[in-house]
Amino acid sequence: MFLIDLVVGARPNFMKAAPVFEALRMRRPDWRVRLIHTGQHYDERMSELFFRQLSMPKPDVNLGIGSASQGIQTARIMVALEKWFTRDRPNLVFVFGDVNSTLAGSLIASEMQIPLAHVEAGLRSFDRTMPEEVNRVLTDAVSDWLFTTEPDAEVNLRREGIAPERICFVGNTMIDTLLKHLPHALALHMPDRYEVIPKRYAVVTLHRPGNVDDPSVLQRILRGLTEIASEIPLLFPVHPRTRQRLEGLVISNSNLRFFEPMGYLEFIGLMASAAVVLTDSGGIQEETTILGVPCVTLRGNTERPITVKAGTNILVGDDPQRMVAEALRALNGKGKEPQMILEKWDGKAASRIVDCIESHMQ
């Protein structure tokens, strides 16, 4: 039987993989689809809860890798995956996005000469100081099938010497997940739960090492967030990495409200009714564009430029003045709005991926 392994390991992977898993299972019941969770994210709210909310079955394999430095974590995942691939060799391996599990899965599949598919290929920030950028470039270099979310991604891949027949523009599987689950998320009435008024509060997420590991950068960002919280409630579900960095810091504004990480549906429901979202996440830049919510990205670059060109996203780096100015613009109804409907961001990307695989197998 044709065996496909989907390797996931961190929260962003789950939203990208869920529609692919579902499409493969529905369209090709004659294929065996195995879900391998590396355990890169091991917190219950960051992992198991997402599987339940996205209607994904319990992973067939959970490697239980846990937290470590990038090098150690990637190496541990590679060792564990090699054992599983040797025991029951797949015909095709899927990896998603740009996390350490993505790189580990791509390298071991390539070394074992197992065909490799990368979902969300070709995105580039052109900033090699970002670990995710290195993961993206290396994964694309060894992938056999490169599934892209936007036209610029193919331009990037062609520039790097990737043969055009290996590239397939399918759209964005994260948007497949968003569109499928948005009605349920809205039905949770999240603003009521947090006692805030729709379009009169902000949401913030923060987790990238460049923002949270450098105390001076983190202090600048917190200064901006505190000023914004003087105008509107600012709801901050705190990533475990960020929580460690915040320990011991004095936050003087009670309107800046910290919470444990949320489930996928709860967070989408909260974000959809926000006046503005402040983030350093790549996926949230895409989700806010589809939701029509102004997004202030706390980075100087983005691997998702289409969200700036056509969507609601604006880059401000770690400049607190720009951060505050853009947030208040959004609060006053002058935030950036989507400029166009993005091609193939229509909830059907996973189906196109299956189409592409089937066409190559004929």
Query: Does residue 337 form part of some domain?
Result: no
Query: Domain of 157: which CATH number?
Result: 3.40.50.2000
| Structural domains in the chain (count) | 2
* pTM metric for this prediction: 0.94
- Residue-number span of the structural domain to which 271 is assigned: 180-331
Percent of the chain with pLDDT over 90: 80
Q: Are residues 103 and 184 in the same domain?
A: no
- Comparing 269 with 253, the larger pLDDT belongs to 269
Q: Has residue 339 been placed in a domain?
A: no
pLDDT at 44 over 60: no
Contact 171, 352 (CB under 8 A): yes
pLDDT for position 45 = 55
Give residues with Cβ within 8 angstroms of 51, minimum separation 6: 14, 57, 58, 59
Tell me, yes or no, whether 319 lies in a domain.
yes
Is 224 inside a domain boundary? yes
In a domain, 338, yes or no: no
Tell me the pLDDT of the chain averaged across its residues: 93
Structure tokens at 31: 């294929």
| pLDDT tens digits for range 314-329 | 999 999 999 999 999 9
Instruction: Output the six-digit token pair for 307.
Output: 């969200």
Tokens of 114: 């197992």
Mean pLDDT of all residues in 61-69? 87
State the DSSP H helix or E strand holding residue 327, giving kind and residue range, or none if neither.
Answer: helix 320-331
Active site residues: 207
Question: Taking residues 210-230, what's their average pLDDT?
Answer: 92
Q: Are residues 55 and 197 in the same domain?
A: no
Residues 285 and 348 in one domain: no
pLDDT tens figures, 243-268: 888 887 767 778 999 998 899 999 99
CB 121 within 8 A of CB 143: yes
In 3D space, the residue among 103, 82, 125 whose CA is nearest the CA of residue 40 turns out to be: 103
pLDDT of 362 reads: 61
Any domain includes 215: yes
Q: Which pLDDT band holds residue 43 (cuts at 50, 70, 90)?
A: low
Residues 224 and 324 in one domain: yes
In the prediction, which pLDDT does 126 show? 96
Mean pLDDT of 184-201: 97
| Residues 168, 237 within the same domain | no
Cβ contact 263:49 at 8 Å: yes
Residue 251 near residue 227, CB atoms below 8 Å = no
Q: Note whether residue 102 is domain-resident.
A: yes
Q: What is the pLDDT of residue 294?
A: 97
Q: Are residues 197 and 160 in the same domain?
A: no
Please check whether residues 134 and 191 belong to one and the same domain: no
- Do 12 and 156 lie in a common domain? yes
Co-location of 231 and 129 in the same domain: no
Confidence tier at 196 by pLDDT (50, 70, 90): very high
Residue 90 pLDDT greater than 60, yes or no: yes
Whether residues 230 and 152 share a domain: the answer is: no
156 lies in the same domain as 285 = no
Query: Which pLDDT score, from 0 to 100, does residue 200 have?
Result: 96
Are residues 204 and 311 located together in one domain of the fold?
yes
Calculate what percentage of the chain has a pLDDT beyond 70: 97
Please check whether residue 25 lies inside any domain of the structure: yes
DSSP string over 71-88: HHHHHHHHHHHHHHHHHS
Inter-CA distances, 261 with 5, 27, 43, 184, Å:
28, 34, 9, 19
